[in-house]
Amino acid sequence: MDAVTLGPAGTYSHRAASAVADDVSFRESVTAIIEAVADGSFERGVVPIENSIEGSVTETLDALADRDVAVVSEIITPIRHALLAQSEEFETVASHSQALAQCRTYLETNYPEAKQEAVASTARGVQRAREDSSIAAIGHPSNATNGSELQVLAEDIQDQDSNATRFFLLAPASEQSDAGGKTSLIVYPNVNYPGLLLELLETFADRNINLSRVESRPSGNRLGDYLFHFDIEAGVYESRVQEALDEIEGIVDEGWVRNLGSYDTKHVLY
Ligand SMILES: O=C(O)C(=O)C[C@]1(C(=O)O)C=C[C@@H](O)C=C1
């Protein structure tokens, strides 16, 4: 199976995709990956959705709300960052904004003078560090192998040892499944009144459906207007989930509900 994910080669997304795909291609943004799956260019896509330290990857949430794709699996991997550079003499640390944030305390403590540069991915930062001795990168330590002139200056620099990122394995919307222990939903009420969010949450609580994530994102239509992203620990094949979905459809009849499908979890170690 072919999959598309965040490039260039050497990103954490690449490592997660390699666990589920034979052949991995790359795009420069999460939005481009989701588009490539939605338009049928790829049968699978792998995108980061949330991190245990830094929280949601908002570009992913927003791109999922705008395009029709299905989640067919979630992949959870530990994230262990290394500091990579040609020497200790660097001025700037380049990495993905999520990785910089996951190492905030380490950087403030050890390199308070270093500038930080957010780039499209950790592997893009590694590329910058290979080309320019004034740049260090944060990424997986294996980026320093393969004849690279980069040194691993420090390992395990993430602020929490338990650092882990959750990725979605995406497929075209036609492959959306009712089977699985989790389900992701995006709800746009398009109205605002006291107790609206409570009503939505009660559809799950009343049926003893556990919520594993709730996130609100601006709709972009007007200030104070939100979309809600829900992950629940139950599959659409269960009648209690179908009943909850029916009730939500009724509550948000001015807006819409997107069911991204049910799926299971895969834990990948590397
Ligand atoms: O830049 C990468 O290596 C990615 O795969 C992206 C990403 C992310 O967006 O969260 C993935 C895992 C880590 O949390 C850091 C960065």
Domains and CATH numbers, the chain: 2-78+163-171 (3.40.190.10), 82-155 (3.40.190.10), 182-261 (3.30.70.260)
- Who lines ligand 1 at CB under 6 A? 6, 11-13, 48, 51, 57, 79, 96, 98-99, 121-123, 165
Tokens 């979890």 correspond to 265
Q: Per-residue pLDDT tens for 165-208?
A: 999 999 999 999 999 999 999 999 999 999 999 999 999 999 99
User: Which tokens hold the place of 174?
Assistant: 């036609």
Which residues, listed in sequence order, are joined to residue 169 by a DSSP beta bridge?
46, 73
Q: How far is the CA of 176 from the centre of ligand 1 (A)?
A: 25
DSSP-assigned beta bridge partners for residue 183? 232, 262
pTM of the model: 0.95
Q: What is the pLDDT of residues 82-102, one digit of tens each?
A: 999 999 999 999 999 999 999
How many angstroms separate the alpha carbon of residue 11 from the centre of ligand 1?
7
Contact 266, 225 (CB under 8 A): no
CA atoms within 13 A on the CB side of 254: 7
Angle at 137 between CA 134 and CA 141, to 5 degrees: 130
ipTM score here? 0.97
Q: Ligand 1 centre from 113 Cα, in Å?
A: 24
